[in-house]
Structure 1
């Protein structure tokens, strides 16, 4: 479980970096970041 949480957090951080640099795909990134936030919350409460 901890590995999954770490992987989710790492992916979220990478997407946030992309968000700052790539203005063209921000909507797609936003949707994925929101999904990751939900998955991270679920993993933390599991």
Structure 2
């Protein structure tokens, strides 16, 4: 839901915050996870997103 609120400032094309467990997330969530990480809305824990 937060990612929908971030439409005014798009994320860069390359994700600058990668999580070591990216492959555990559904593919359709990758854009939202990337945007939220870039805007520091979510930090993860020990390099993991923990979906």
Normalising by structure 1, what TM-score? Answer: 0.34
Structure with the higher helix share, 1 or 2: 1
Greater relative CO, 1 or 2 (CA 8 Å, sep 6+): 1
Q: Which has the larger radius of gyration?
A: 1
